[in-house]
């Protein structure tokens, strides 16, 4: 069950709601990691520190409880609580996008209602996964949540096994609450959308530079910015920079050598930014990859990475693996 947080918005709240134009102008959104305590519960102190690092280094949006933040491993109660906490702590400094997606339309509607009730600026919505539907069903599903408030469409066929084609997006774009698309299907697709006048964010760190400067993407919704927010901001704000893009490419290759967020969780733990706690089914990278990360940090420069502690190679026994949370 989703907690009953919904309440009517006051007139002042309605007047101060973030405009669609503000949301559509965001260039660097971090899909922020959710850190854990040894018992597997949220480590809000570490979470707040990580979000602050994003803000200080120039991220203008935070995606809460997405796939990087492991929203799929949370109860709805916890997910809405984390969105509310982020809004209350940082909503005046950065735009908050809450993941409200579900493969169940009824749950997606409830999550969207509750997310907006606690103050998120926009909702991020994946298409129904596993229990795939037809293209007409995709349109109907998304129209159900678009009727509630500003929505970003998230297309990631590698996780949902279903592509959201441009024909569906074109229909959804008729809604006044359609913000744009977070797109994983590549830069050719992004170029198609920007040529049509749609707002698009790259969801692939290794493609985001070219998406931004060659294909018209407004920016990126990034995993890597958890670790190197300053460099990711430079890629999105600093003009075309193939030299920097080439410099960070080996890091991107390392980060996504196993499904996200396995690499991210391992890296943040080795930087001392979070406790080395994993909720199953996620499991730390093997020691060879942990050693490789330390080498990458030293080659790129420790100053480019979040945190202040020396990077270290953690032993297997340093990690805490939680199967009940």
Which residue numbers are catalytic?
154, 182
Residue 225, CA distances (Å) to 13, 28, 62, 222 in order = 31, 8, 10, 6
> CB neighbours of 129 closer than 8 A, spacing ≥ 6?
103, 159, 160, 161, 162
H-type alpha helices, 150-308 = 157-160, 166-172, 187-195, 208-214, 229-237, 242-255, 262-270, 287-300
3-state secondary structure of 238: coil
Angle (nearest 5°) at CA 183 between 50 and 76 = 55
Residue 162, CA distances (Å) to 24, 138, 159, 194 in order = 25, 10, 8, 22
Distance between alpha carbon 79 and the CA centroid of its chain, in Å? 14
H-type alpha helices, 57-199 = 76-90, 105-117, 135-146, 157-160, 166-172, 187-195
239: alpha, beta or left? (left if phi > 0; alpha if psi -120 to 50): left
DSSP 124: E
Show the tokens assigned to 28.
Answer: 């660097």
> CB neighbours of 310 closer than 8 A, spacing ≥ 6?
272, 302
């Amino acid at each position: 069950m989703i907690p009953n947080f919904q309440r009517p918005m006051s007139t002042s709240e309605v007047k101060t709601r973030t405009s669609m134009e503000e949301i559509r102008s965001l260039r660097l959104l971090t899909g922020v990691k959710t850190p854990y305590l040894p018992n597997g519960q949220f480590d809000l102190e570490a979470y707040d520190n990580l979000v602050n690092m994003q803000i200080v280094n120039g991220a203008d949006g935070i995606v809460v409880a997405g796939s990087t933040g492991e929203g799929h491993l949370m109860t709805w109660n916890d997910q809405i609580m984390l969105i509310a906490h982020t809004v209350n702590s940082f909503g005046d400094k950065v735009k908050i996008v809450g993941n409200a997606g579900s493969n169940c339309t009824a749950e997606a509607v409830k999550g969207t209602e509750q997310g907006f009730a606690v103050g998120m600026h926009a909702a991020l919505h994946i298409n129904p996964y596993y229990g795939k539907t037809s293209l007409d069903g995709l349109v109907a599903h998304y129209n159900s949540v678009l009727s509630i408030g500003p929505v970003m469409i998230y297309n990631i066929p590698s996780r949902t096994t279903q592509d959201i084609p441009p024909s569906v997006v074109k229909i959804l774009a008729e809604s006044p609450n359609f913000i744009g698309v977070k797109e994983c299907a590549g830069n050719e697709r992004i170029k198609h959308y920007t040529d049509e006048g749609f707002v698009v964010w790259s969801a692939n760190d290794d493609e985001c530079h070219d998406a931004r400067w060659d294909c018209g993407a407004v920016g990126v919704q990034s995993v890597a910015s958890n670790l190197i927010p300053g460099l990711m901001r430079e890629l999105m704000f600093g003009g075309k920079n193939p030299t920097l893009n080439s410099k960070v490419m080996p890091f991107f290759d390392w980060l996504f050598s196993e499904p996200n967020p396995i690499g991210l969780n391992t890296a943040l733990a080795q930087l001392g930014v979070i406790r080395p706690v994993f909720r199953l089914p996620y499991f730390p990278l093997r020691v060879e990859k942990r050693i490789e990360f330390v080498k990458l940090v030293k080659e790129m420069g420790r100053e480019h990475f979040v945190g202040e502690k020396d990077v270290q190679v953690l032993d297997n026994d340093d990690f805490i693996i939680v199967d009940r949370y």
